[in-house]
Chains A and B, each alone.
Chain A
Amino acid sequence: MSSNKKYWSSVEELKDSSMVEALKQNEFSEALPVEGFLEDKEALDDSSTTRRDFLKYVGFSTAAATLAACEGPVVKSIPYVVQPEQIVPGVANYYATTIADGFDFANVLVKTREGRPIKIESNRLAGVSGDANARVHASVLSMYDSNRLKAPQIDGKVSNWLTFDRELSTNLSKVSGKTVLLTQTFASPSTDKLIKEFLAKNPNASHVVYDTVSNSEAVAAYQEVYGVRGLGNYDFSKASIIVAIGADFIGDWQGGGYESGYAKGRVPVDGKMSRHIQVESNMTLSGANADQRIPVTPSVQKEILLGIYGFVTKTSVNISSASSKVASGIAKELVASGSAGVLITGIQDKAAQIMALAINSALGSKVLNTASPKLTSVGDAAQVASLIKEMNAGEVGAIMIAGVNPVYSLPNTAAFVSGLKKVGVTVSFASTANETASLCKYVATTPHYLEAWGDTEINKGNYGLTQPTIRPLFDTRQFQDTLLQLLGANVAYDQYIKENWSTSILNGKSFNQALHDGVFVSHNSSNTAGDFTSQSLTISKPSGLELTLYTKTSMGDGQQANNPWLQELPDPLTRTSWDNYLTMSKADAEELGIENHNVANGGLNGSYANVTVAGATLNVPVLIQPGQAKGSVGLALGYGRTQGVNKEMQVGINAFGLYKNQNSVQSVKVEKASGEHEFACVQLQRTLMGRGDIIKETTLEIFNTKDKSKFNPVPVVSLDHQETPITSPEVDLWDEFDRTVGHHFNLSIDLNACTGCGACVVACHAENNVPVVGKSEIRRSRDMHWLRIDRYYSSEETFEGDNEKKDNFSGLGDSLSGFGEMEQPSDNPQVAFQPVMCQHCNHAPCETVCPVAATSHGRQGQNHMAYNRCVGTRYCANNCPYKVRRFNWFLYNGNDEFDYHMNNDLGRMVVNPDVTVRSRGVMEKCSMCMQMTQKTILDAKRDGRPVNTGEFATACSNACNTGAIKFGDINDKDSSVAKSLEGDRMYHLLESVGTKPNVQYQVKVRNTKEA
């Protein structure tokens, strides 16, 4: 029996069914917007294409495309018509050359493949001066800059050299008034001679040397004392105590290049290592490496220097008691170490610089080498200032600007630009249309240093040669050749150098040998005694905060702003890339209401602040920097380029506007501004949270007196209620392989020698074709660096304090509050750097989880990664305790979304042909430079000899100037890594996990004194 019940779906249906009926008829109350996408209804109706037809077409075209894809493309191979004798396709050639761009000076080797330079290596010959830092390593990419000018320009239009020369020489001959050469410091004997000849021929001409980042006070002081226009040259390997006051000598202080000497003295040998005291306001690399760091504002630094000067030279000085106490402590240590002590300062004040020299002289310091001063920065800020005045007064008829970009880098750009308009003939020697070049009538396009000739005298008596490593890519001509052209000399600059060298430098030695070596040493002077007068220092207490302008290890003075490797290289301390920012102490930030916080996706955000110096105001983001002296702020120069740089690279703020009188210390007013800035920070955690086994540390005293088990204990696990060391085979999950046959590679990282400079990171980029991902991807933690340098701050005064605090937690309450506190770094923390790359674990967790066996272990100890096999599950990265695997979220080459060097043919020239360029969706990681070890082995096989000890290398170990990263074969018992494996300081990262890594770390030893 069927039911007669009627079911209503709503009350409305029962009461008034008309509406429901209407709804029934028209299910969609609104007409579907089909017209939007099927616009012409009639045409659609008329069309004979049915849905079935459409699907047929789709099916057919898919099948056709699939079939067509099976056909391989036709690849053309074009050999040379006449092959140059020295080029063999597939074999690298090395040339010694010298970089001298006015900011970085170093003797280097250039690796070329098929005639294109692809990598910079350090030249390890004796007599080499200047260390190849991150910027030098990255300079090879700057040659393949797509923004380079391709021909000389007149009035912004492309011209040719014939017209250019004709016009320029006629216009120069008509000039009334002065002709001024405004150049960088060349430190080049031949260029200096050439300029002298030019000045002799043109009596109205003068030469002004302008250093973008000035050392004029220090140069003036050195000149007054030692009679040479130069800078002190220090060999820190001879020092037992180093006192640096406001001098970041591991960074770019007075041209830098000191880290190798410094690191030599920092590794404990026979129980001895140097002691380093750093007095500074910004947290710098030097401060981070110091045994004792005293954060004070620049004005207090002056007091302390004055105090030390008083104690050492036994003159009475009038300073505050707090400073006096610090000064006397330092002075006592300095005096005690006598001639092995050294004091340096970065205070930009002639009297302060003379005091530092006087202190060293009083100590009889053997660290300062007065026989061979540094000649790389001899500019005079006062001369530049008077030049601007003359230009504005209309006294200058012609100006030739070479190697510098004053419109960008002068504090008073407006005055310079207005002056430039009054100059009749303006010539810029530049390789890109930078800020200055775009305002000049003539742009004499210059080649990159890898395409040019040159010579340098970095330190007096240490000569270097620059030679072209490739034919000029564009129609360029170097400054010196244009000068020779103007002089009417019918000689090319290389010939000019050769003649100059054979007459005045070589002393009968072979030029070809010097060119081959890249360096030539001819010392014939001995240490000179200084001539000191008593000094007084004026110390004015500033009203606001004290700003110290500094240069980053990545960007320097901003010349290479268009270099994506450098933009993406994180600052060693803030670990932030693609930016500059105001660094501020936590206390000051709280006072001003400035905040830093992490947003939901992990990215770091920070408040903006307005920074005002004598009328000039900048709106900059603020980053709270642990260790920044209260009352001081810091800001990096070299950012905020706008002309001749790609849009992606136009990041940061140009801080040169605050660089008044070219003095790096300024008194500023800081106010909080509205808005939040998004930083691209690669490391979010700041402290170690008391996990002392990640970076093991000890003091020199304990290291010298105690057993290994005290400062470097092997982790233990419980086996049958017995504490068993993790290294014992009984607690191992895995069966051990025999690893004594053949080579077994190990990488050793000495935490004592690592200064955190980042040269290895850039070298790794260059060697392994690591892609650049850009600011927004970095912010998403998708950086691709195969090698990262972790930076940790201590949350207590010392890391030891952290460990104790964590060990003394009792109960849940302590842990909850305590760990929260330990996330915050101390106001003056200890800092530790730790380079981390793939640890090449013998028992690698990544290998066991890969579903397609794309990552596997080689018997030479390397953990292999077969990109073509990887399907991108990312299990391996999740299972890696070290987080060193990097995933290609996108296609980074040939993709307009990532418009860096790999997106244009010129930039791709830098790619290493021996290493695969990875595609989207695969995992990649450090291979321990497999291509380099394989090459070394093959070379030995071909020669029929065993591999020599020390022959194996990786890109990072080659780039490391301090010797912190060492690479070798532990089955070769003579190798340094085999020896360090047995050493007391050796430990493995996260050893307790039992992964048995092939990367060793050496315990960091600090030379601290108990107060």
Chain B
Amino acid sequence: MKKVTHRNSISRLFLAIAFLLTFSSAITAVQAQADPGKGKELFNSLCAACHKRYKKATGPALYGVTDRHSTEWLYKWVKNSAALIASGDAEAVAIYEEYNKTAMNAFPQLSNADIDDILAYVMEPKAEKPVVAGGPAVSGSGSDSSSGIENNLVLGLLALVLVVLVSVLFLVNKTLRSFAAQNNVELPVSEKRRPLWKAFVENQFLILVSAVFLLLMSAYFAYGYLMQVGVDQGYEPVQPIHYSHRIHAGTNKIECKYCHSSARVSKHSGIPSLNVCMNCHKSISEVAETTQSEGLNEYGVDYNKEIKKLYKATGWNPDTQSYSGETEPVKWVRIHNLPDFAYFNHSQHVMVAGVACQKCHGPVEEMEVMYQYSPLTMGWCINCHRETNVKVEGNEYYDKIHEQLSKKYGVNKLTAAQMGGLECGKCHY
């Protein structure tokens, strides 16, 4: 893991440098006084929901917008496009018609200077791909192989030293023996001893002890093997769409319950329906280039292709920005599979007890591919019920029972077990 992050930071550094080098000339070319850095911030906060720089989204691609329209016209349009359309401006009406009569939001809060900044940012030409993707890849593999060579070299040297030492020892021994022969010194002759295995076979006690030991060992391992039957801890199936929790929950910090919303009210956490995905992916048809290259290099996944799969399933056409109506549900492979005779309710744990999702599902925000983190065995459930205190504060339901039970057990904090969380019928009915 550490190595990977290390490489990440290196690649990021390279990227940043590459960007800086490529665009430093362009910045000055477009608009001397405008600041594309500020423009980028504004673009990301206000425009990015509907516009992309080099690609059509809900609105048109903005690269080259100043070639298509005059700056003055753009000021008016951005500040209040509806008024411009209403005034019958031909350019404005044409755009309005082209984009299915979807009016652009008015941004009266933007000053002309702000708009200039945004324009400066959007007018930056697209970076050349090979420069971006190739740079870090080469350097990455370089650093990898160099460290390998170093290790090998050290090991080789050590081996050489060992060989030298052994040969020296052999030589010394040989020399000493020849000296002894010359000086007629009698070397002691070792007696022929009974082989160890024969002694062992003849010792019945040892045989018995080792047989018992072997039996116990095999019983132990057999038990261990059988106990993991049906336990799918670490189950990490290949899913029809490579969905990265790392990017969504980790990098972008999307709250778990935004997508798994039924965990709040239902026993199921729910696999989000595809319309939830489309809330964001309507405007995110491609991942950032850094993410894309990261996916290709580290996980062998083309994230953009995965997003295409989502579009296919929902019948969304990103070019026309419309649904075709032809849908095909995604058949996910279920990972967490409790048997039918065990009742588990997500809302009880997530909302009432306030248990973090990660407690059972592990560091999901770091998982590129989702896997089963916990064993999901009954012992595992029970153990947590024994150790976890019930969150009674601020919940009037618990007021009376907490008071009574605290008195009964003489404790202030109550575990789920003390509340009756170990009873069979609470989960099996």
Smallest beta-carbon distance B241→chain A, Å: 12
**Would you call B229 and A938 a contact (CB within 8 A)?**
no
A949 within 8 A of B: no
**Would you call B265 and A75 a contact (CB within 8 A)?**
no
| B107-115, B297-305, B392-400 - the one binding chain A | B392-400
| Interface residue from B274, B333, B399, B404 paired with A740 (Cβ < 8 Å) | B404
Determine the residue in chain A with the shortest Cβ distance to B263. Answer: A90
| Interface residue from A80, A89, A856, A938 paired with B424 (Cβ < 8 Å) | A856
Q: How many A-B residue pairs have CB under 8 A?
A: 156
CA distance A927 to B426 in the complex (A): 11
B327 within 8 A of A: yes
- Neighbouring B residues of A914 by C-beta, 8 Å: 267, 343, 429
- Neighbouring A residues of B229 by C-beta, 8 Å: 70
A484 within 8 A of B: no
CA distance A738 to B407 in the complex (A): 12
B232 within 8 A of A: yes
**Would you call A79 and B329 a contact (CB within 8 A)?**
yes
Q: Which of A90, A862, A930, A946 has the most CB of B within 10 A?
A: A90
**Would you call A945 and B270 a contact (CB within 8 A)?**
no
**Would you call A916 and B266 a contact (CB within 8 A)?**
no
**Would you call B327 and A864 a contact (CB within 8 A)?**
no
Known: A938-B348, A945-B396. A860 touches B420 (CB 8 A): yes
B158 within 8 A of A: no
**Would you call A941 and B397 a contact (CB within 8 A)?**
yes
CA distance A916 to B429 in the complex (A): 6
**Would you call A81 and B429 a contact (CB within 8 A)?**
no
| B168-176, B208-216, B334-342 - the one binding chain A | B334-342
B237 within 8 A of A: yes
**Would you call B343 and A946 a contact (CB within 8 A)?**
no
- Neighbouring A residues of B262 by C-beta, 8 Å: 88-91
B47 within 8 A of A: no
**Would you call A940 and B265 a contact (CB within 8 A)?**
no
B423 within 8 A of A: yes
Residues 296-337 of B contacting A (Cβ, < 8 Å): 313-314, 327-334, 337
Interface residues of B, dominant DSSP: loop
B347 within 8 A of A: yes
- Neighbouring B residues of A942 by C-beta, 8 Å: 265, 347-348, 351-352
Determine the residue in chain A with the shortest Cβ distance to B400. Answer: A946
A947 within 8 A of B: yes
Smallest beta-carbon distance B139→chain A, Å: 41
A83 within 8 A of B: yes
Determine the residue in chain B with the shortest Cβ distance to A738. Answer: B408
| Interface residue from A78, A88, A741, A860 paired with B408 (Cβ < 8 Å) | A741
Smallest beta-carbon distance B421→chain A, Å: 11
CA distance A864 to B404 in the complex (A): 24
B135 within 8 A of A: no
CA distance A943 to B425 in the complex (A): 23
**Would you call B270 and A89 a contact (CB within 8 A)?**
yes
**Would you call B343 and A868 a contact (CB within 8 A)?**
no
A867 within 8 A of B: yes
- Neighbouring B residues of A88 by C-beta, 8 Å: 262, 265-266, 270
A536 within 8 A of B: no
**Would you call A741 and B270 a contact (CB within 8 A)?**
no
Determine the residue in chain B with the shortest Cβ distance to A944. Answer: B395
| Interface residue from B314, B347, B408, B423 paired with A81 (Cβ < 8 Å) | B314
CA distance A742 to B424 in the complex (A): 17
- Neighbouring B residues of A869 by C-beta, 8 Å: 424, 428
- Neighbouring A residues of B313 by C-beta, 8 Å: 81
A721 within 8 A of B: no
Determine the residue in chain B with the shortest Cβ distance to A82. Answer: B275
Smallest beta-carbon distance A618→chain B, Å: 46
Taken residue by residue from 483 to 500, chain A's Cβ proximity to chain B (1 for < 8 Å, 0 otherwise) reads as: 000000000000000000
Smallest beta-carbon distance A1003→chain B, Å: 31
CA distance A952 to B339 in the complex (A): 27
Residues 322-375 of B contacting A (Cβ, < 8 Å): 327-334, 337, 339-343, 345, 347-348, 351-352
- Neighbouring A residues of B232 by C-beta, 8 Å: 72
B273 within 8 A of A: yes
**Would you call B420 and A77 a contact (CB within 8 A)?**
no
Q: Which of B351, B398, B424 has the most CB of A within 10 A?
A: B424
CA distance A73 to B11 in the complex (A): 41
| Interface residue from B265, B345, B408, B429 paired with A915 (Cβ < 8 Å) | B429
Known: A78-B331, A859-B423. A864 touches B394 (CB 8 A): no
**Would you call B425 and A83 a contact (CB within 8 A)?**
no
| Interface residue from A76, A91, A742, A867 paired with B341 (Cβ < 8 Å) | A867
Residues 375-429 of B contacting A (Cβ, < 8 Å): 394-401, 404-405, 408, 420, 423-426, 428-429
CA distance A963 to B425 in the complex (A): 27
Residues 258-296 of B contacting A (Cβ, < 8 Å): 262, 265-268, 270-276
A865 within 8 A of B: yes
- Neighbouring B residues of A514 by C-beta, 8 Å: none
- Neighbouring B residues of A865 by C-beta, 8 Å: 424-425, 428-429
**Would you call B399 and A931 a contact (CB within 8 A)?**
no
**Would you call B426 and A78 a contact (CB within 8 A)?**
no
Interface residue count on the B side (C-beta < 8 Å): 56
Determine the residue in chain A with the shortest Cβ distance to B230. Answer: A72
Known: A74-B333, A741-B405, A944-B396. A938 touches B428 (CB 8 A): no
**Would you call B340 and A917 a contact (CB within 8 A)?**
yes
- Neighbouring A residues of B328 by C-beta, 8 Å: 81
Residues 126-161 of B contacting A (Cβ, < 8 Å): none
A866 within 8 A of B: yes
Q: Which of A83, A864, A941 has the most CB of B within 10 A?
A: A941
CA distance A91 to B341 in the complex (A): 18
**Would you call A79 and B332 a contact (CB within 8 A)?**
yes
**Would you call A864 and B341 a contact (CB within 8 A)?**
no
Determine the residue in chain B with the shortest Cβ distance to A863. Answer: B425
Q: Which of B237, B266, B394 has the most CB of A within 10 A?
A: B266
Residues 846-875 of A contacting B (Cβ, < 8 Å): 854, 856, 858-860, 862, 864-869
Determine the residue in chain A with the shortest Cβ distance to B262. Answer: A88
CA distance A131 to B232 in the complex (A): 50
CA distance A72 to B328 in the complex (A): 27
Smallest beta-carbon distance A905→chain B, Å: 17
Q: Which of B270, B314, B398 has the most CB of A within 10 A?
A: B270
- Neighbouring B residues of A90 by C-beta, 8 Å: 262, 266-268, 270
| Interface residue from B235, B237, B276, B396 paired with A946 (Cβ < 8 Å) | B396
| Interface residue from B237, B265, B314, B404 paired with A74 (Cβ < 8 Å) | B237
- Neighbouring B residues of A80 by C-beta, 8 Å: 273-275, 329
**Would you call B423 and A742 a contact (CB within 8 A)?**
no
Smallest beta-carbon distance A360→chain B, Å: 50
Taken residue by residue from 905 to 926, chain A's Cβ proximity to chain B (1 for < 8 Å, 0 otherwise) reads as: 0000000001111000000000
Determine the residue in chain B with the shortest Cβ distance to A70. Answer: B229
**Would you call B334 and A91 a contact (CB within 8 A)?**
no
**Would you call B420 and A78 a contact (CB within 8 A)?**
no
- Neighbouring A residues of B340 by C-beta, 8 Å: 916-917
**Would you call B425 and A947 a contact (CB within 8 A)?**
no
**Would you call A742 and B401 a contact (CB within 8 A)?**
yes
Smallest beta-carbon distance B317→chain A, Å: 15
CA distance A915 to B272 in the complex (A): 25
Known: A78-B330, A83-B275, A944-B395. A930 touches B429 (CB 8 A): yes
- Neighbouring B residues of A941 by C-beta, 8 Å: 348, 352, 395, 397-398
Which 3 A-B pairs rank lowest in CB-CB distance, beginning with the nearest? A864-B425, A90-B266, A83-B273
What would 10 more interface pairs be, CB under 8 Å, given A80-B274, A88-B265? A76-B334, A79-B329, A90-B262, A858-B423, A858-B424, A865-B429, A868-B339, A868-B342, A914-B343, A946-B397
Q: List 9 A-B contacts (CB under 8 A).
A: A77-B333, A81-B275, A742-B405, A867-B428, A868-B428, A931-B343, A931-B429, A943-B397, A944-B396
B interface with A by C-beta (< 8 Å): 229-230, 232, 235, 237, 262, 265-268, 270-276, 313-314, 327-334, 337, 339-343, 345, 347-348, 351-352, 394-401, 404-405, 408, 420, 423-426, 428-429
